[in-house]
Amino acid sequence: MTVHVVGTADQIAEGQHRVYEVSGRSVVIYHIQGEYYAILNRCPHQGAEMCKGPVCGTTLPSDVYEYAFGRQGEIVRCPWHGWEFEIKTGKSLVRPNTRLLRYEVVLEDGKLGIIL
């Protein structure tokens, strides 16, 4: 495994994300609540570019006829068919056994890298 430096942390403001090309792969790094998370820029359903999906929240478990919304900024919704994924874990909220492909992020001396 190799650390690929992609840029600097200050290139991605809190709540924003940025796409990098790393060894022929399109990778999205999200900056959420002070941490950085990297995913392959490809939806596991039919391959949409996840960077084009909104970062949002989702509906939470609630009683019948009650609708609770939460987790704002922690979810990315696929731009094609709307599947929602936890950015921090890559886990699909639609299909629990489906995940975004994630990469470990390294932050050192203000430089961002991912491990491939």
Among 4, 18, 25, 45, binds ligand FES (CB under 6 A): 45
CA atoms within 13 A on the CB side of 62: 10
Q: Which of 45, 27, 32, 21 is nearest to 95 (CA)?
A: 45
- By the rule CB under 6 A, 18 interacts with ligand FES: no
Q: Does 52 bind ligand FES (CB under 6 A)?
A: no
CB distance 69 to 59 below 8 Å? yes
Interface stretch with ligand FES, choices 7-15, 67-75, 80-88, 95-103 (CB under 6 A)? 80-88
Positions in the binding site for ligand FES (CB under 6 A):
43, 45-48, 78, 80-81, 83
